[in-house]
Structure formats: structure tokens, C-alpha cells
């Protein structure tokens, strides 16, 4: 089976009680950022762990000191934070928020940031800004006009939803020796975070009635897009990439897919991947190592329960039964 190459997971960790060592570490890891210490207990400690998994990075910060961080503008990444303990005041881009235990927030984009922290423990997830902007393009929002109007969730209910997704992704990224973190799976987790952020944090996509209607997509342009998806079913294709290949706008392409296939381009791609997953299951042979889990992961299905539900709906039986029948395993075995 092709496309199952696991993403390399890299970790960088500092654990120290030495202020100079902390400053040197921050300067090396976060270029153009500076840190100033304000207070420290006699047995103070700083621990910072960064885990890179493909395009997602997870950071864990544990600190028993008070410090001020001067952070350079975030132009390539979007940072989402969960405060576990202590407090932090973050200012930048016209935003000014206080973070305390159990709070979730995101960092200002494209603006210098001033963070004043005291005994601040936090988990952070970083994803590429391009992933977020690609999703906004699906809504017809020009990247130059997009903005987050607040750095905290709209309401407690959406924060609860965000907390579950954040915890899932952070935990999986930081798990040692993962057996399922393929490139496609990581790309889907990254897109899930971006899509959830657009539903949780107030932003420009929540006011779409002001946007102009979509342009007409010709049959040949739509065919180019469909052919591209069939040619690259295992690739983490973006809407922006697909629209550029078809020679139309992302919003117009989305509208055309809904009219023709009653699905968005990404939903169409999910159907296509489900077909390939089915093919993998019905062509399995004893000893080739195929399992329902690694077949699902290969084709970008991050949740086994959801994959089973979709598969059963389309093929009339769970994927495990399809595989067991092919391998000659009884329903009880």
C-alpha cells in the first residue's frame, strides 16, 4: 500500500532554572522574539517542549516565573493557546485579553505581540496560516479582507467544542511513536483546526451576506477540477490549488460543485477516498498488513468511528466485515 509514510516527529525541549539559558533558548527557537524576567521564586523552573509533526506544531510551556515576552508578528503561522494555570495578559493588533486557567485564546496575526505572564502554564498548537486562508477562500472572503474580530471563543458552548478538538490534536501530536500520523492525516487535522477556528472565534466569514455572488464555472473548468481530484486522491489538495488548476475562483468552484454533485469539492474528494479505501479492503491478501485502521488513515479518515459510519452507509456493511471476508476470517474471529 502506497501513501502510508509516517510523518517524522521532532522534539526540542528545555528544562532549566537558569534565566540566561532560557533567554538563549527563546532567541534560538523564536527568532526576533525577546523575553524579560520580572519575578522568580527561589526554586523557579522553566520547561518548554516543542513537538513538530508535519505542518502542525505543539508546544507545552510550564513556568514558575513572571516574565514579559516581546513577540514578532506571526505572518506564517496561527497560534492557538490553552491556559492551564497562572495568568497572562496578551496585547497586539488592537486586542487586549487576559488569560487564566481553563481559558482558550488565539494569538493576534500580523502584528507585534506583548505578553505579560505570571506562573503561566499553557499548551499551544501552531498551524500554517495558508491553511486557514484557503478555507476562508471557500467562503468567498479575499485573504486581504479577512480578519479575526476577537481572540476568544464567541460563547461557552463553542469553547467546549473547541476544547475537545484542541485536546485531541495536541494529545495525538505529542504522543510518542505514533503509528497513524501520516501526511494526509496530519493535513486533515490541520484543516479541522482551521475550520473549527472559523466557527469558534469571531471573524469575517461570519458576515457573508455582504460578499458578491459567485461567477459562472464552465463545464470544461469543472471537468479539469474533477480530473485533478481523481489524479491526486491521496494528496492533501486545497481549494485554492484546485481552483487555480481549473482557472476559476475558489468560491465559484465551490458553488459549481454543489450544483453539479450536491457536495463541496472536499466532500467530493472524501467520497473518492472512500471508494479507494473500499478497493484497498476488497483487494487485501493475508500477510500484507492491511487493517481497517491503516486503510482509513491512508485515505485521511482521522476518526475510526466516523469512517465506519460512512463506509457502512455506502457499502451496507462495516469495513471490518469487508476485510474479514476477504481474508477468510469469521465474524467471530
- Per the prediction, the chain carries an average pLDDT of 85
Per DSSP, the three-state class of 89 is strand
Is 296's pLDDT higher than 60? yes
Q: Give the pLDDT confidence score for residue 278 in this predicted structure.
A: 94
Q: Give the pLDDT confidence score for residue 227 in this predicted structure.
A: 94
Place of cell 510551556: 61
Is 3's pLDDT higher than 60? no
Give the Cβ contact number of residue 148 at 10 Å: 19
Q: What is the pLDDT of residues 48-70, one digit of tens each?
A: 899 999 999 999 999 888 888 88
Q: Give the pLDDT confidence score for residue 2 in this predicted structure.
A: 45
Query: How far apart are alpha carbons 77 and 94 in whole angstroms?
Result: 19
Q: Give the pLDDT confidence score for residue 333 in this predicted structure.
A: 41
Q: Using alpha carbons only, what angle is made at residue 233 by residues 232 and 236, rounded to the nearest 5 degrees?
A: 80
9-16/65-71 β-pairing: unpaired
> H helices within the chain, ranges in order?
19-29, 129-138, 156-174, 183-200, 219-231, 239-246, 250-261, 265-282, 292-298, 304-315, 319-327
Predicted TM-score (pTM) of this structure? 0.66
**Mean pLDDT in residue range 77-106:** 93
Residue 193 makes CB contacts below 8 A (sequence gap 6+) with: 56, 80, 125, 127, 165, 166, 169
Per DSSP, the three-state class of 47 is strand
Per DSSP, the three-state class of 61 is strand
Which of the four pLDDT bands, split at 50, 70 and 90, describes residue 276? Answer: very high
Lowest mean pLDDT among 35-49, 61-75, 94-108: 35-49
Give the Cβ contact number of residue 11 at 10 Å: 12
DSSP 215: P
Is 210's pLDDT higher than 50? no
Q: What is the pLDDT of residues 105-140, one digit of tens each?
A: 999 999 999 999 888 999 999 999 999 998 888 777
**Which carries the bigger pLDDT value, residue 34 or residue 21?**
34
- Written as nine digits, the cell of 113 is 505581540
Considering only CA atoms, which of 34, 32, 60 is closest in space to residue 47? 60
Q: What is the pLDDT of residues 231-248, one digit of tens each?
A: 989 888 888 889 999 998
**Mean pLDDT in residue range 5-17:** 84
Highest mean pLDDT among 28-42, 195-209, 311-325 belongs to 311-325
Place of cell 470544461: 220
Is 170's pLDDT higher than 90? yes
Query: How far apart are alpha carbons 164 and 132 in whole angstroms?
Result: 19
Residue 276 makes CB contacts below 8 A (sequence gap 6+) with: 233, 234, 299
Amino acid at each position: 500500500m502506497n501513501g502510508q509514510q509516517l510523518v517524522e516527529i521532532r522534539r526540542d525541549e528545555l528544562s532549566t532554572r537558569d534565566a540566561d539559558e532560557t533567554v538563549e533558548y527563546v532567541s534560538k527557537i523564536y527568532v526576533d522574539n525577546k523575553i524579560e524576567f520580572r519575578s522568580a521564586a527561589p526554586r523557579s523552573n522553566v520547561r518548554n517542549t516543542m513537538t513538530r509533526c508535519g505542518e502542525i506544531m505543539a508546544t507545552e510551556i510550564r513556568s514558575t516565573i513572571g516574565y514579559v515576552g516581546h513577540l514578532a508578528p506571526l505572518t506564517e503561522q496561527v497560534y492557538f493557546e490553552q491556559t492551564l494555570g497562572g495568568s497572562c495578559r496578551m496585547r497586539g493588533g488592537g486586542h487586549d485579553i487576559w488569560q487564566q486557567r481553563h481559558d482558550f485564546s488565539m494569538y493576534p496575526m500580523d502584528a507585534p505581540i506583548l505578553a505579560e505572564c505570571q506562573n503561566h502554564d499553557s499548551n499551544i498548537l501552531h498551524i500554517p496560516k495558508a491553511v486557514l486562508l484557503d478555507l476562508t477562500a471557500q467562503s468567498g472572503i479575499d485573504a486581504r479582507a479577512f480578519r479575526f474580530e476577537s481572540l476568544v471563543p464567541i460563547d461557552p458552548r463553542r469553547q467546549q467544542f473547541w476544547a475537545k478538538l484542541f485536546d485531541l490534536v495536541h494529545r495525538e501530536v505529542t504522543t510518542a511513536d505514533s503509528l497513524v500520523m501520516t501526511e494526509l492525516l496530519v493535513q486533515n487535522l490541520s484543516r479541522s483546526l482551521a475550520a473549527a477556528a472559523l466557527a469558534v472565534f469571531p471573524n469575517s466569514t461570519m458576515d457573508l451576506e455582504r460578499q458578491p455572488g459567485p461567477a459562472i464555472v464552465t463545464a470544461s473548468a469543472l471537468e479539469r477540477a474533477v480530473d485533478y481530484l481523481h489524479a491526486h486522491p491521496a494528496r492533501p489538495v486545497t481549494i485554492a490549488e484546485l481552483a487555480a488548476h481549473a482557472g476559476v475562483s475558489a468560491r465559484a468552484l465551490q458553488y459549481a460543485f454543489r450544483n453539479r454533485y450536491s457536495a463541496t469539492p472536499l466532500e467530493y474528494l472524501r467520497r473518492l477516498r472512500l471508494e479507494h479505501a473500499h478497493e484497498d479492503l476488497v483487494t487485501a491478501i493475508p500477510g500484507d498488513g492491511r487493517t481497517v485502521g491503516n486503510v482509513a488513515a491512508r485515505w485521511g479518515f482521522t476518526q475510526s468511528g466516523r469512517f465506519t459510519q460512512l463506509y457502512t452507509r455506502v457499502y451496507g456493511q462495516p469495513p471490518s466485515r469487508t476485510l474479514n471476508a476477504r481474508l477468510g476470517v469469521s465474524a467471530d474471529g
